[in-house]
Chains A and B, each alone.
Chain A
Amino acid sequence: MYQYTQDDQTLIDERVAQFRGQTERFLKGELDADQFRALRLMNGLYIQTHAPMLRVAGPYGLLSSRQLRKLAEIARNYDKGYCHFTTRQNIQYNWPKLEEVPDILAELAEVQMHAIQTSGNCMRNTTTDPLSGVCKDEIEDPRPYCEIIRQWTTLHPEFAFLPRKFKIAVSGALHDRAATQFHDIGLHLVKNDAGEVGFKVFVGGGLGRTPVIGQVIRPFLEKKHLLSYLEAIVRIYNLFGRRDNKYKARIKILVKEEGLDKVAELVEQEWQSNKDSLELSNERIESIKAQFAPPDHETSADLDGSFHKRLQENPAFATWVQQNTVDHRVPGYRAAFISLKAPDAPPGDITDTQLDLVADLADRFSFGEVRSTHRQNLVLTDVKQTDLFTLWQELGAAKLATPNIGTATDIICCPGLDFCSLANAGSIGITREINQALDDLDYLHDLGDIKINISGCMNGCAHQSVGHIGILGVDKKGEEWYQITLGGSSENEAAIGDRLGPAVAKDQITRAIQDILDVYIKQRQEDESFLNTVKRVGITPFKEQVYANH
């Protein structure tokens, strides 16, 4: 993975010093609440219902074991012994003390981490496919470009006060595992007719109150123009994005109101006048790429027979392998997901001891690295098949081996009413209920690939609008109700879910989800997935079932 140079380190150290000064000025009353707000947000610090919340950047989801141990230490010493992985591959602490945040940032800086631009109206952490570099459907590893973008966006002097937040995601594979079409800018590495690899550029995607699918602004961008083109888009956005209404300030609204053609034309003009000054040299691309060279895989890892024997002898192990691991580019290796969706734990949460364990397992079995995923799990990307059994046992002992990756209990869920002042309804409790209702593993696995996303209000932190099943908390005369949508997807065939009908009461929501799953089982043809079934039969059969019973 990318190792900091002296300059990288200096920059984050200086940032810590700057933030320490800002915090002191605020505590002395020299900065008012609004002024400090803008500055602390740029350092990932929110003030929530119960306490401040600190969001730490996980650059494109890649973390070393040393960094994990530091995250564990911070959870232990400054928080309540746990932290939370977000849908944008970042890490959140829910109970830090404001006065201690500068110290936390200083500790993070010791392991090349920071909270820069994890919040605020600026360019945020760039996210990517957690299987980058190991998946079989990859055109090119996106991580070097993510790192190039990370550097370019970090403390960009011109774009620190944009109309609104700005998120970039990059995918290098055929299958989009990074929700790129729901980002302000989505980049797909693609090959053109001449066989050259470049970027297909999407613009104007986003979730939240107004979910919008990104549109292609440029079908093929040469790699050397990556930064100049990004700069052109962001400059046009900075100058012309709306600032009169924060709900209309994202670039998706600019694209919607002005039209893609108009925005593309402005970007093109801007780009033409600046494209040569920011050209990426081949040497620079190659030198960053070298930092993401594949680890030393053994060439005969697939010859080992013990793995197959274990699979036959131990059905529970076989189930886990089937559900929580995926094929690897190198024969004899697999990528093993670590489920942060145990039935009784809030999705995405991880304790300090679990973090320490994952760090050890990463060192022993996966070249000392771990990735966080868009669906709030972790993955060890380079595990030899011989090691999977021990890995499974040790993960299992720590409740990290629930075999539910990609299933209906691999739920994305926001903090909801339990922790969030903006919430209309609880979401963690609903997740727990759904887990209890779906505790039969055979049934769960038979249901197959189903993505349920639950947000406690229309801000949509858990991306309910792109869940195969989306659940949105609404407030009805002070009571918690839930709006259901079906058929959303954040993958290649991006789609926003359709509303099933009127919202459902809290004591009915889990029953409604079970009804929906029953209809799917009845309607599906052979191996048809949930999403394809919904596409084929439409929402009517689901609607009839859900509202017939209530």
Chain B
Amino acid sequence: MQIIKDKKITEDHWQFVADDQDIPQAGDITVSMSRWLNDKDALVRRGGRTGIRIRSTDQLEGIAGDLAGMPLVELDIAMFGDGRSFSQAWLLRNRYHYRGEIRAVGNYLIDQIFYLHRTGVDAFQLDESRKPEAALAALNDFSVAYQPSVN
């Protein structure tokens, strides 16, 4: 599957494993925050890498200690009007000094990609409404900004 990562269209193989599905022994996966907190030990012992998918209602404090070395945090935007994910991205970068990939997934508009990128999101899941070229172009909607953020 294609995603945008670091401003490039990239092939991607990460899989999200829902809470009611079995954890595969190999392969790179993301799981919900609650599953991560419950099964952390088992998850790190498996073959592939494991990242976390965060909903906008999740509190980041719970995973603060796990972020060093975490390969991927997905911000799951359930509804494009829910702006909490933007603050979560900012907090991950500035407050928790997380350096791994932050990927925006779920229901958001290409018109939000510029803002998401500025707050620290560096990867974007694509879909029918977010085609690769349009999503790439949206990263450059504006060439100037008034206020500091992450980018």
Enumerate chain B interface residues (CB-CB to A < 8 A).
80-84, 86-87, 90, 94-95, 109, 111-112, 114-116, 118-119, 129, 141-149
Contact (A10, B144) CB under 8 Å given A35-B109, A158-B149: yes
Using Cβ atoms and an 8 Å threshold, which residues of chain A touch B141? 14, 18
Expressed in whole angstroms, the minimum distance between the Cβ of B59 and any Cβ of chain A is 9
For A160, the closest partner residue in chain B by CB is B115
Indicate if the CB atoms of B114 and A157 lie closer than 8 Å: yes
Indicate if the CB atoms of B80 and A161 lie closer than 8 Å: yes
Using Cβ atoms and an 8 Å threshold, which residues of chain A touch B80? 35, 38, 161
Interface hit among A271-279, A344-352, A364-372, A458-466: A271-279
Interface hit among A83-91, A217-225, A235-243: A235-243
Most chain-B Cβ atoms within 10 A of its Cβ — which of A156, A161, A163? A161
6 A-B residue pairs with Cβ-Cβ distance under 8 Å, sorted by A, are: A10-B144, A155-B145, A156-B146, A157-B147, A159-B83, A160-B112
Indicate if the CB atoms of B111 and A39 lie closer than 8 Å: yes
A151 sits at the interface (CB 8 A): yes
Using Cβ atoms and an 8 Å threshold, which residues of chain B touch A7? 144
Add 12 more A-B contacts to A156-B147, A163-B83 (CB < 8 A). A7-B144, A10-B143, A15-B142, A151-B147, A152-B146, A152-B147, A156-B149, A157-B115, A160-B83, A161-B81, A238-B86, A273-B95
Expressed in whole angstroms, the minimum distance between the Cβ of A29 and any Cβ of chain B is 12
Bound together, the chains give a CA A22 to CA B145 distance in angstroms of 20
Expressed in whole angstroms, the minimum distance between the Cβ of B95 and any Cβ of chain A is 7
A112 sits at the interface (CB 8 A): no
**How many residue pairs bridge A and B at CB < 8 Å?**
86
Indicate if the CB atoms of A159 and B86 lie closer than 8 Å: yes
Enumerate chain A interface residues (CB-CB to B < 8 A).
7, 10-11, 14-15, 18, 22, 30-31, 35, 38-39, 121, 151-152, 154-163, 227, 235, 238-239, 243, 273-274, 277-278
Bound together, the chains give a CA A541 to CA B111 distance in angstroms of 58
Indicate if the CB atoms of B95 and A157 lie closer than 8 Å: no
Indicate if the CB atoms of B148 and A121 lie closer than 8 Å: no
Using Cβ atoms and an 8 Å threshold, which residues of chain B touch A121? 81, 83
For A243, the closest partner residue in chain B by CB is B82
Indicate if the CB atoms of A161 and B86 lie closer than 8 Å: yes
Bound together, the chains give a CA A227 to CA B148 distance in angstroms of 11
Indicate if the CB atoms of B146 and A154 lie closer than 8 Å: yes
Using Cβ atoms and an 8 Å threshold, which residues of chain A touch B119? 157-158
Bound together, the chains give a CA A243 to CA B142 distance in angstroms of 29
Indicate if the CB atoms of B84 and A11 lie closer than 8 Å: no
For B140, the closest partner residue in chain A by CB is A14
